[in-house]
A = this chain, B = another copy of it.
Amino acid sequence: MTEPTINEIREARSRIGQHVHRTPVLTCRTLDRVCDAEVFFKCENFQKVGAFKTRGATNAVFSLGEDEVKRGVATHSSGNHAAAVALAARRRGVPAYIVMPETVPRVKVDAVRGYGAEIVFCEPTLKAREKGLAGVVNRTGAMFIHPYNDYRVIAGQGTAALEFCEEVSDLDVVMAPVGGGGLLSGTAIAVAAVSPGTRVIAAEPEGADDAYRSFRSGVLVPSRDPRTIADGLLTSLGDLTFPIIKRLVNDIVTVGDEEIVAAMRMIWERMKIIVEPSAAVPLAALQTRRGVVKERRIGIILTGGNVDLGNLPWNS
């Protein structure tokens, strides 16, 4: 399999079309004023399972042949990818096995269980996840669907930016958060192809800045002990996502957790929509004009809306 192009992203859109929402693009005059820009929000928090991850997982699960998929699919994930794989498997009619850290918010565990997946809990480390996953795959023969380091997943995630650029023309910049880089690399491929004048800027929490450091140094630097409120962005770039990001992304900037929480709260208060901390990272960067200096028409992908409502960051 080779690096996806806009063709694979278009194919992904056809493949997943009946299984995912075409999410709305919202605007908010107050936020425009605060950011001194025209800001367009692609609302993947309204996507099925509450996050863009449904796009990539659905594309991956439905790309598999009958023989490959019949014993099910498996993954490890801090939450949204897990729910996305579980839903895609249910729609394909095959079992899903999900390895999850014990520390995941209850709402995410409930969502995955609700889609009928079998959950295997593990310690909240990458090593424990990988060991748990290997055990599941050996036991069941399920196909592993990686959360981001998978070309089919990358192509699926790129469908959000494809829709975004088709709906809103002449964006100066598209901003997305970066964790493992699946969304960012798919976004960069889509934007470069359908809106070549648009820059792609990624935003990352300071406490999990492996993508920032990798991008600046040109060498893949894994996360070491990442800490951030943006729990969807703890993962490190992969060897499939990093080359795409290095080639096609214009800049990666970092923001602090306080700025992330403030941006998240502003979206809740002013737009009356629920986004998770990871989704607020680009707005936090835009508010301080990091990576985006003079640009006026800004597209932000709001990546997800799954939060534990009993444990909000401004109540702790």
Tell me the A residues contacting B by CB distance below 8 Å: 24, 45-46, 50, 107, 265, 268-269, 272-275, 305, 309-310, 312, 314-315
Contact = CB atoms under 8 A, between A and B. Distances in A.
A305 B274 contact: no
Given A309-B265, A314-B309, A272 B46 contact: yes
Nearest to A110: B269
Copies of this chain in the oligomer: 2
A258 to B, nearest CB: 16
Given A45-B272, A273-B274, A274-B274, 19 more contacts: A24-B24, A46-B272, A50-B272, A107-B269, A265-B309, A268-B309, A269-B309, A272-B273, A272-B274, A272-B275, A272-B305, A273-B273, A309-B312, A309-B314, A310-B314, A310-B315, A312-B312, A312-B315, A315-B315
A131 to B, nearest CB: 32
A274 B265 CA distance: 12
14 contacts: A24-B24, A46-B272, A50-B272, A265-B309, A268-B274, A269-B309, A272-B273, A273-B273, A273-B274, A309-B312, A310-B315, A312-B312, A312-B315, A315-B315
Contacts of A268: 274, 309
Contacts of A305: 272
A21 to B, nearest CB: 10
Contacts of A275: 272
A150 B272 CA distance: 28
Contacts of A269: 107, 309
A116 to B, nearest CB: 15
Contacts of A274: 268, 272-274
A269 B304 CA distance: 12
A312 B315 CA distance: 9
Contacts of A273: 272-274
Contacts of A50: 272
